[in-house]
A and B are shown apart, each in its own frame.
Chain A
Amino acid sequence: MVSLGALSGALEQGLVYAVMALGVYLTFRVLNFPDLTVDGSFPLGAAVAAKLICSGVDPVLATAVAPVLGFVAGATTGVLNTKLRISGILAGILTMTALYSVNLRIMGRANIPLLRSATVLTTLKGLGVPGGIAALLLFLASAVAVKLVLDAFLRTEFGLALRATGDNEVMIRSLGVNTDSMKIIGLGLSNALVALSGAMVAQYQGFADIGMGIGMVVAGLASVIIGGAIIAPASIGLATFGVVAGSVVYRFAVFIALRMGFAPTDLKIVTAALVVIALSGPAIRASLGVERRRALGHGKAEASSKNVLARNH
């Protein structure tokens, strides 16, 4: 039997990682920028929060510092890409690689345990929230708040310019927007969310680890893709809702995979395969469609007669 505790654990994870997935959505979908900084900025947030908490800083404040450093990390990738003209993928890889050293410097070692430390969760419990639902409440509130703020942000004048930078750079530049600045700020905001998620995950799981960011961008992308598949992104609000839902579904899928006997270390290849299947869908469908038309002996004749009909209408 699957225990209720295990299920609510998957839900908690889905919600806390949703904040990261919303960051990935901002770069991959809105800015149309494949940003790999995420694998470094996620443990960056965890490292900063863990180190500060261990140094006696209030956990709420420690958590709040994480997105600031995350912003700097993302903006660095943005500067590498726009000012130094390094390709987007490589710029992200360079920042991510550099962050490995930075994160180790911050932590001083590869792992900081937080099991006996005060965290945002113990702060909540101190405020009278029952221990059993503290994590669920906090992560639900975080995911919903980030989603709503992101929705509103993307509908402001600034948000419109950011979206247009991802959609049509030539046009929005002709309308007077500095697209370099847009990319730098967009990457910064995205990685601020990723680092915030990292800081909360560290406190939730009870440790920060140098390797906790590996495969994070693929997991985020998987959530974004699943979200787009289960909820048609007809508007910004629906798209971000889909991302949150996608993150939850993804964590449940991980939970099920583990129950089926996959080793935790095998999950990366399962996730990667999931993303490959999702991304290759259109290409495979297109080639299958061509094959089928050929097999049926239609193809051109049918297509052209359709066009004539369309014109007559």
Chain B
Amino acid sequence: MAMVKLRHLRKTFLPGTTNGRMALRDVSLDLAAGDFVTIIGSNGAGKSTLLNAVAGVFPVDEGTIVIDGQDVTGLPEHERAPIIGRVFQDPMQGTAGSMSIEENLAMAAKRGERRRLKWGVTQKDRESFREYLALLGLGLENRLSDPVRLLSGGQRQALALLMATIKKPKLLLLDEHAAALDPRTAQDILALTDRLVRRHGLTVMMVTHNLRHALAYGNRTVMMHEGEIVLDVGGPERSDMTVADLLERFHATRGERLLDDRILLEV
């Protein structure tokens, strides 16, 4: 059974105005449990819109979103949180800077649960956080009470990844979560992503601008263009694929240039 079923999703921003833009036109996509799909496409192709629609940041105009048998189409963002974990592009966005590492983790460990008048961080929490943070190898396990704003961008993003997965989500959404980091840190974050995904057996949708990363990580790659999915490859076909093949496949499908300079430069 599919873990994620997206059916005929449509979304137009600012409808009826001169600035109106159809960001999603009839997007359908199925993810089996354990699928790790990388999503590529030029700026404005609808990648982030798709992720935001699945997360519930805004309602879709048409279509249905079903996750693990539950129709979440009409639910607001915070009611989808029990089943969805997210990491954003901006490391500042995934963590609360004025709060400590342990407080951030404690909030994440309660993702989608009712917040009660019980101590937010208990001694038992601290022990398990220490163990979990040690996975990163960044020494954060000794800095539990440090405010997160003291961490570097890479450390914050690593923490954000832990937070998104500390309570196993049915679906993990990664929106260019390594794009704002320097190349080496980005590599570390992606390696960590891979490790956490395997460890928990997660179902993942990852948007990336980097075609090499799109093929190196995950088991499926989807290409979007002008609000539509124009390519969906997996299995042996994808394993043999090079970045050049990926570009060629796109041109064959569309007969036009998809990729902007940014993508080409990052190849």
Contact = CB atoms under 8 A, between A and B. Distances in A.
B119 A167 contact: no
Interface string B103-115: 1001110111101
B117 interface: yes
Report the interface size class on chain A: 20 to 34
A130 B115 CA distance: 44
Contacts of B79: 176
Given A174-B81, A176-B112, A177-B115, A156 B97 contact: no
Interface stretch (A19-27, A49-57, A158-166, A268-276): A158-166
Contacts of B77: 173-174
A178 interface: yes
A161 B107 contact: yes
Contacts of B88: 170-171
Contacts of B55: 174
Interface in B124-180: 163
- Interface on chain A toward B: helix, strand, loop, or mixed SS? helix
A290 B78 CA distance: 44
B2 to A, nearest CB: 23
A155 B118 CA distance: 8
Given A163-B99, A171-B94, 8 more contacts: A156-B115, A158-B116, A168-B96, A168-B97, A171-B96, A174-B81, A174-B84, A176-B79
Given A156-B117, A160-B103, A176 B95 contact: no
A153 B117 CA distance: 7
A167 B147 CA distance: 12
Contacts of B163: 175
Given A153-B117, A160-B115, A171 B99 contact: no
A178 B88 CA distance: 19
A161 B117 CA distance: 11
Interface of A: 153, 155-161, 163-164, 167-168, 170-179
A25 to B, nearest CB: 14
Contacts of B118: 156-157
Contacts of A173: 77-78, 81
Contacts of B119: 155-157
Nearest to A174: B86
A163 B96 contact: yes
Contacts of B96: 163-164, 167-168, 171-172
A179 B107 CA distance: 14
